[in-house]
Amino acid sequence: MHPTIFVIFGVTGDLAGRKLLPALVTLYSKKLWPQKFAVIGFSRKSFNREEFREFIRERMKIRPGQFKEEEVKHFLDHLSYEQGLFDDALSYDRLKAKFKEIDDRWGQCSNKLFHLSVPPALYQGILKHISSSGMSVPCADDTGWTRVLIEKPFGDDLMAAKSLDKLLGKLFEEEQIFRIDHYLAKESLQNILAFRFANTMFEPLWRREHIDQVHIKLFERGGPEGRGTFYDSMGALKDVGQNHILQMLALVAMETPRSLGSDDIRRERGRVLTALRSIPGQALEKQVVRGQYIGYTNEKGVSLHSQTETYFRIKSYVDLPRWKGVPFYLESGKGLSETKTEIDIYFKNKSDENHRNILTFRIQPDGGIKIRFYVKTPGYSFKTEPKSFRFSYAESRLDHNIPNDYERLIHDAFSGDQTLFASTEEIMACWKFVMPILERWGSLPLKKYEKGTREV
């Protein structure tokens, strides 16, 4: 594996400690990461090398016993720190000089992978500096690529997303850009495609003639948890609707791709998202519910008079012949009774609505698949009762092999596989679908609900 430098802008933030660094240690310990590597943390705070290593050791969320002490120590030996200001050209020159120093030591032009772990408002400035300092260009013609990982939210509305994407297109080639939606990297979500396309018995049923409705749910018990200010400026629809929920819809509704190659899969996801029917103003009250849990305005960082939604439910349609007339219910909320992400596919039963087969993709927790079917209740009369076929990763003892989402994302970005990253077309289509709703958000009543409720 080619030597690689991983740069984390905003390394002192929550994401780096919670997700990125533990994922890097795991890849390193699984030998899926080059032995010659450096992780450079970039941020404003002042640390010397030792202080930085200690800070990271403390912040890094790893379970006791997850790694051998030796492994963590070796990993930390590859860490270094660059103090800098995000809007200061000299800071980027210093970073570039550090690259040269490391490459000279290794005697090779290494790969460079940049991760923007900073508030989205800083993205454009950082990207411009990476480019103007010459760091977006590989140091040699045939070796050492440069790639950039962009976190969601990708813009905070359609205009901002277009402007960010235009800038990225100007500064980088498409093969260098990895737009993260970490849901795409969840193993149980990728299993939707495997289940659909590897099991031919379901394919003939996967259409409007047999499917009555689809429910996509991303429920969370917790609140914004330390991200109050940011969350309050976004709301649930932008936070998880415009991205995670719609990507789940795309995987359920997409046509069979021509191949399992990244371009074909992304194209098919994009086609579904582009075919989402925009909700007209007069239908808004009928098709959309928004809510806020009682007590949300007392959360840290949240405005006392906040009108931000912590819950939404949308009845949506996909304008493709396969899905004509099939409602897709999209629902998400914080402060609900349980944390679970799940997709339920209800099959039609024209003679008895109460006896519908349901196929459930359980994304988390306890990822798996369940099919509800009916059997005859033993006895003299003809009655039926529901039973289920179930697959669970945990029960099948497959769960220990599941890479977590950030391991998968970093691994794939390193390998240059863009399948689990969103394309421009997908991101724009998602924004186009949610914008008309967001523009009239204020006209919808904000339904208050008790924290921990089962139903809003």
List the binding residues for substrate. 182, 186, 220, 239, 334
Question: Is 129 an annotated catalytic residue?
Answer: no
Q: Which residue is nearest to ligand BG6 (CB)?
A: 239
Checking 276-283 for CB contacts under 8 A at 24+ apart, the result is 276/246, 276/249, 276/316, 276/317, 276/318, 276/319, 276/429, 276/432, 276/433, 277/316, 277/317, 277/318, 277/319, 278/432, 278/433, 278/436, 279/314, 279/316, 279/436, 279/437, 280/436, 281/436, 281/440
User: Annotated binding residues for NADP(+), as ranges?
Assistant: 44, 152
Q: How far is the CB of 395 from ligand BG6 (least distance, A)?
A: 21
Nearest CB to ligand BG6, comparing residues 83 and 404: 404
Q: How far is the CB of 182 from ligand BG6 (least distance, A)?
A: 6
Nearest CB to ligand BG6, comparing residues 185 and 211: 185
| Helices 246-253 and 187-198, axial angle in degrees (round to 10) | 20
User: Annotated binding residues, as ranges?
Assistant: 44, 152, 182, 186, 220, 239, 334
Please report, as residue ranges, which positions from 161 to 190 form the binding site for ligand BG6 (by CB under 6 A).
182
Nearest CB to ligand BG6, comparing residues 103 and 220: 220
Please report, as residue ranges, which positions from 109 to 148 form the binding site for ligand BG6 (by CB under 6 A).
none
Q: How far is the CB of 430 from ligand BG6 (least distance, A)?
A: 13
Size of the site for ligand BG6 (CB under 6 A): 4
Please report, as residue ranges, which positions from 212 to 231 form the binding site for ligand BG6 (by CB under 6 A).
220
Nearest CB to ligand BG6, comparing residues 25 and 240: 240
- 239 lies in the binding site for ligand BG6 (CB under 6 A): yes
Nearest CB to ligand BG6, comparing residues 16 and 130: 16
Q: How far is the CB of 220 from ligand BG6 (least distance, A)?
A: 6
Rounded Cα distance between 235 and 229, Å, is: 10
- 309 lies in the binding site for ligand BG6 (CB under 6 A): no
Rounded Cα distance between 306 and 220, Å, is: 20
Which residue in 244, 355, 400, 411 is the catalytic one?
Answer: 244
The tokens describing 402, both together, are 């599941």
The candidate with the shortest Cα–Cα distance to 114, out of 94, 103, 129, 97, is: 129
Nearest CB to ligand BG6, comparing residues 62 and 76: 62
The candidate with the shortest Cα–Cα distance to 180, out of 432, 421, 366, is: 421
- 268 lies in the binding site for ligand BG6 (CB under 6 A): no
Nearest CB to ligand BG6, comparing residues 240 and 254: 240
Q: How far is the CB of 129 from ligand BG6 (least distance, A)?
A: 26
- 240 lies in the binding site for ligand BG6 (CB under 6 A): yes
Instruction: Please state the separation of Cα 285 from the chain's center in Å.
Output: 29
Q: How far is the CB of 301 from ligand BG6 (least distance, A)?
A: 13
Q: How far is the CB of 236 from ligand BG6 (least distance, A)?
A: 8
- 151 lies in the binding site for ligand BG6 (CB under 6 A): no
List, in order, residues 6 or more apart from 305 with CB less than 8 Å away.
297
Residues designated catalytic: 244
The footprint of ligand BG6 (CB under 6 A) covers 182, 220, 239-240
